Amino acid sequence: MTVVVIGAGVAGLACARALHDAGVPVRVLERAAAPGGRLGGDLLDGRPVDLGAAYFTVSDPGFAAVVSRWQETGLARPWIGDFEVYGESPHPPAAPPVRWAAAGGLSSLAVDLAAGLNVSCGVAVKDLTVLTGTVVLAMPAPQAAALLPAAAPLAAAQDWQPSLAVALRYCRRSWKPLTGAFVNDHPLLTTLCDDGSRRGDGAPVLVAHTTPAAAIESAATDVEAAVRELLDLPEAAVTVAARRWPAARPTQPSDSAFAQVEGVYLAGDGFGRPRVEAAWLSGRAVAAAIVGNQNPKTPRTASRAR
């Protein structure tokens, strides 16, 4: 019987890929027009811009194999440079990780993960009872709880917080060389990224991420002014675009790799350290559990990494 994965973000696609490679029929349903989830972006004056995850890091060998293939094919690139720190940092400085970005936008990595899979976009699932077989909800727990009310306690325990991503295009690059910045103790800003540096094209574009309290679309103008003040910019942005993420980050992620509620699997970066890699690992863990349940007496073998 076909496994139905709802959500074509990293977790859902990693799960579907592992199931597909193990010979398990799988279908992915995504409400958006394209795969990506919180790897998503938008066009800003015709240029793609990342408005979801700022970057990703790698520590797991399996995920490292996927990233190595992305690098070999020109999809992913190391994003070199230290992040500035504005305000008092609650933690001592640590050696910066190798950050990864994508010249075509992080959403291009999701498109690659979806290649060859049965993915239907523009499909909004509103009722799980119409589905048969095994179901995987690959999405933030608050969204999962809207489909599966029994998941509400998990969503509350993980304590998801919203964020607003604001893309700012300027006439020219008028700031000092910048990779990105962590902004502490600010009423509006938490992270600032130089998208021209991140994408490698030098475009005069910055992307700011807000505090939960400022995660309303009407705050975009205030965010633009805050960035201008922070970097002492001589002129305002000529284009401002914003995208709100109602569930951007869990403050209390679960220690387990996934959850199962009333027979439905839940996966995503709410399980483990909330990062792109955690979402990939969570999706793979769900796939391994499903394969193991279908073949309880068959030793598991590693599927082809993508």
Residues forming beta bridges with residue 86, ordered by sequence position: 183
- Residue 120 three-state SS: strand
Domain segments of the chain as ranges: 1-31+123-158+251-306
Residue given tokens 């010249």 in the structure block: 103
CATH topology of domain 1-31+123-158+251-306: FAD/NAD(P)-binding domain (3.50.50)
Q: Encode the chain (306 residues) as per-residue pLDDT tens digits.
A: 899 999 999 999 999 999 999 999 999 999 999 999 999 888 898 898 999 999 999 999 999 999 999 999 999 999 999 999 998 776 665 667 899 999 999 999 999 999 999 999 999 999 999 998 999 999 999 999 999 999 999 999 999 999 999 999 999 999 999 999 999 999 999 999 999 999 999 999 999 999 999 999 899 999 999 999 999 999 999 999 999 999 999 999 999 999 999 999 999 999 998 799 999 999 999 999 999 987 765 443 333 334
Give me the residues paired with residue 267 across strands: 138
- The model carries a pTM of 0.92
How far apart CA 51 and CA 130 sit, in angstroms, is 33
- Residue 200, SS3? coil
